A and B are shown apart, each in its own frame.
Chain A
Amino acid sequence: MITIALSKGRIFEETTPLLAAAGITALEDPEASRKLILSTNRPDVRLIIVRATDVPTYVQYGAADLGIAGKDVLDEHGGEGLYQPLDLKIARCRMMVAVREDFDYFGSIRRGARLKVVTKYVKTAREHFAAKGMHVDLIKLYGSMELGPLVGLADAIVDLVSTGGTLRANNLKAVEEVTDISSRLVVNQASLKLKRESLQPIMDAFAQVVAANN
């Protein structure tokens, strides 16, 4: 049995064609069904629907053989026990530092200000500012980061930006790119050794689609 861990929404939608190329179709739509384990047309393959941030954990512990997770999530997780053999180039966006329209980010850095930053991505943000030699205080939030600078909780946010619509609607501007984000195929290390014959064709099919689309 091969178990593939996916999250609902954009990642599931953009993974469907990849799975189809490997001859795998889900028998149910996760948006319509409340089931967490979805069977597929292949009796030896099942999908499990988990929170995006939990995908690396399921794969690390071998509860899933394969998973699809954003680079943002993988960087926070650390990637222990995982292979990340393939950049699927789906669900692409950028992780950015954003501040209020009227905030002078670079001026503050020059003055050596110690900024308050709200983010869901504490590890990534810490590494980013440390590499720049900036002192920051990180405040962990679980959502609606954009609110932080507006209500005086923080000077800046570190968050994913795809179109920039939410930032504009809240009078924020992106000032610095932290990293490019896209989804990766992750593989449990033991699974790749033990189930190579069944996993390799799926990985090859994904790789072909990625190569054809980019």
Chain B
Amino acid sequence: MLNWLLPEYIEDVLPAEAARVELLRRRLLDLFKVHGYQYVIPPMLEYMESLTTGIGHDLDIVTFKVVDQLTGKLMGIRADITPQAARIDAHMLNNQGVSRLCYAGSVLRTTPDGLARSREPLHVGAEIYGHPGVESDIEIHRLMVKALQQVGLSTLYIDISHVGIFASLLSDAGITEALEQELYAALQSKDQSAVRSLGKDLDKVTLDALCSLTELNGDVSVLDEAAKRLPATENIQQALNDLKAVHAGLSDLDVKVCFDLAELRGYHYHSGIVFAAYAQGYAGPLARGGRYDEVGAIFGRARPATGFSLDLRGVVSSLPAIETSKAVFAPADHDDGLAQAIEGLRAEGEIVIQELPGHEVHRQELGCDRRLVKQDGAWIVVVAPELSNQ
């Protein structure tokens, strides 16, 4: 066995990419900070019960598990940070009003996930707790758009849906849970023929509405079309109005907003507007999120909530390389003036690498394009093309 091989879908992030990931991680957290989102660092692992209740409902099979040697209880390594943030809001902070939380950290998945097809995505996200209205949905949408623009993605597509439409169609028709699961799966693949055959015993209004959902996708005109084709119940009208409000709330940002009413990502715990961001060059969603009211109830306190997260490693994978400044080379020399010059440059943010003796022939590996030289008793920086290996 080659003992330096890594498991499948687990990888190192090497310097060039790590620099980009870290740069963008800092930019995103700074952006969240100036919007009033407080940074939290939840633990890598906790008891399974708290990880996979509520919003973690679908996560059981993708969570790596270990037995806690202290209690004998089953612990999971987090596969998503959102349930942890919800737990923190419900039980640790006890704010009566609005809490805004953000986080950045690796999660583990038993199967490869997301754009990078990795088992160790790096999730960066933000959540708002305590506000049920569409205004907080708009705030989260805007923050997600700004975050992706900050990352360097210019042409963004935001795809928005509302799980309340599907949920109210089902509850009005009194559909069983088994059928609900199958209809949900068929709608996720927009498989209208499957919806039609699964729903053959339903009343015509419900069945036609469910079939319409597979076709109701496109620009904002879809919402007017939906008002015509779906039953005019109070819940559905409220949902369509909320979607219109979000559309209006994003109008000043440079993004394409589209709607897809069959998209029910995370239907089991989402309760309102759900959304995902797409961009050219990526074969899947870059960021996703939505409203998940009431999941805090499992932690003892039901709180309205909405938020988004993105896998930074997946996003970085298709970004153009960031031009980073190269280093300044300093010789191995015990000169007080040199030490001072080096510290001066470093204080200005320059990268200065002082040579360690014995590696004169490997200088090109250091990534320097300038060097410190002594001229007329003073150390100055000069361009040094001979140090570059390109």
- CB of B258 within 8 A of CB of A84, answer no
Q: Does A103 contact B (CB under 8 A)?
A: no
A39-47, A121-129, A184-192 - interface stretch:
A184-192
CB < 8 Å neighbour of A188 from B157, B194, B283: B283
- Closest Cβ–Cβ distance, residue A123 to chain B (whole Å): 15
CB distance A190 to B284 under 8 Å? yes
* A-B contact sample (13 more), CB < 8 A, given A61-B283, A62-B283: A62-B282, A62-B284, A82-B189, A83-B189, A85-B192, A188-B283, A189-B285, A193-B159, A193-B258, A194-B157, A196-B217, A196-B258, A200-B218
Cβ of B157 and Cβ of A189 under 8 Å apart?
no
The A/B interface has a contact count, at CB < 8 Å, of: 48
- Which chain A positions have C-beta within 8 A of B285? 189-190
Which residues from chain B sit less than 8 Å from chain A, CB to CB? 157, 159, 189-194, 214, 217-218, 258, 260, 278-280, 282-285
Query: How distant is A56 from chain B, measured CB to nearest CB, in Å?
Result: 11
Q: CA–CA, A83 to B279, complex, Å? A: 18
Q: Return chain A residues, CB-CB under 8 Å to B192.
A: 85-87
Complex CA distance for A167 and B191, rounded to whole angstroms: 32
Q: Which residues of B contact A86 (CB under 8 A)?
A: 192
- Shortest Cβ distance from residue A70 to the other chain B in the assembled complex, whole angstroms: 14
Minimum CB distance partner of B155 in chain A? A194
A83 touches which of B159, B190, B278, B282 (Cβ 8 Å): B190
Given contacts A189-B284, A193-B258, A196-B218, contact A84 B157 (CB under 8 A): no
A85 and B214 form a contact (CB under 8 A): yes
Interface status of A81 (Cβ within 8 A of chain B): yes
Q: Once the chains are docked, how many angstroms separate the CA of A61 from the CA of B191?
A: 19
Q: A61-B283, A81-B284 are in contact. Are A193 and B157 (CB under 8 A)?
A: yes
Q: Which residues of A contact B159 (CB under 8 A)?
A: 193
Can you list 12 pairs linking A and B with CB atoms under 8 Å apart? A83-B191, A84-B194, A87-B191, A189-B284, A190-B278, A190-B285, A193-B157, A193-B258, A193-B260, A193-B278, A194-B278, A200-B218
The answer to whether A79 and B258 have CB atoms under 8 Å apart is no
Given known A79-B189, A82-B189, A83-B189, contact A192–B283 (CB-CB < 8 A): no
In the complex, the answer to whether B191 meets A84 with C-beta atoms within 8 Å is yes
Contacts of A81 in B (CB 8 A): 283-284
Cβ distance B257 to chain A, nearest Cβ, rounded Å: 11
Shortest distance between the CB of B272 and any CB in chain A (Å): 21
Classify the interface of chain A: helix, strand, loop or mixed.
mixed
- B283 x A190 contact (CB < 8 A): yes
With a cutoff of 8 Å between Cβ atoms, the chain A residues found around residue B284 in the complex are 62, 81, 189-190
Q: Which of B190, B217, B282 contacts A190 (CB 8 A)?
A: B282
With A192-B217, A196-B258 already in contact, the answer to whether A84 and B283 are too (CB < 8 A) is no
**Closest CB in chain A relative to B295 CB, distance in Å:** 25
A25 to B167, CA, bound (A): 43
Binding site for B on A (CB under 8 A): 60-62, 79, 81-87, 184, 187-190, 192-194, 196, 200
Q: Which residues of A contact B193 (CB under 8 A)?
A: 87
Is the CB–CB distance between B189 and A194 below 8 Å?
Answer: no
Set of chain A residues within 8 Å of B283, measured between Cβ atoms? 60-62, 81, 188, 190
Closest to A89 in B: B193
A184: chain B residues within 8 A (beta carbon): 191
- 5 closest residue pairs by CB, A with B: A62-B283, A87-B193, A83-B190, A85-B190, A84-B191
Among A60, A84, A194, A196, which residue has its beta carbon within 8 angstroms of that of B190? A84
Chain A's nearest CB lies how many Å from the CB of B211? 11
Please give the distance in Å from B266's CB to the nearest CB on chain A. 15
By beta carbon, the residue of chain A nearest B215 is: A85
Nearest Cβ in chain B — how far from A199, in angstroms? 11
Cα of A207 to Cα of B69 in the assembled complex, Å: 59
Contacts of A61 in B (CB 8 A): 283
- Chain B residues with CB under 8 A of A190: 278, 282-285
**Hey, which chain B residues are within 8 Å of A187, CB to CB?**
190
Name the residue of chain B whose CB is nearest to the CB of A192: B217
Note all chain B residues with C-beta closer than 8 A to A200. Answer: 218
Nearest CB of chain A from residue B48's CB, rounded to whole Å: 25
A124 CB to nearest B CB, Å = 15
Are A84 and B189 neighbours in the complex by a CB distance under 8 Å? yes
**Considering the chains assembled together, what is the distance between the CA atoms of A122 and B23 in angstroms?**
46
Nearest-neighbor residue (CB-CB) of A193 within chain B = B278
Give the Cβ gap from B10 to chain A, nearest Cβ, in Å: 19
Identity of the chain B residue whose Cβ is nearest the Cβ of A61 in the assembled complex: B283
The residue in chain B whose Cβ has the minimal distance to the Cβ of A186 is B189
Whose C-beta in chain A lies nearest to the C-beta of B258?
A: A193
For residue A196, which residues in chain B have a CB less than 8 angstroms away from its CB?
A: 217-218, 258
Query: Within 8 Å CB of B218, what residues of A?
Result: 196, 200
State in angstroms the CA–CA spacing of A79 and B258 once bound together.
Answer: 23
- Alpha-carbon distance between A192 and B190 when the two chains are bound, in angstroms: 11
- Determine if A85 and B258 form an interchain contact, defined as CB atoms under 8 angstroms apart: no
- In the assembled complex, how far is the CB of residue B259 from the closest CB belonging to chain A, in whole angstroms? 11
Which B residue sits closest to A65, measured CB to CB? B283
A196 CA to B258 CA, complexed, in Å: 10
B191–A85 touching, CB < 8 Å = yes
Closest to B277 in A: A193
Tell me how far the C-beta of A84 lies from the nearest C-beta in chain B, rounded to whole angstroms: 5
**Among A83, A187, A189, A193, residue most surrounded by chain B Cβ atoms (within 10 Å):** A193
**Measured between C-beta atoms, what is the minimum distance from B302 to chain A in Å?**
32
Which residues of chain B come closer than 8 Å to A194, judged between CB atoms? 157, 278-280
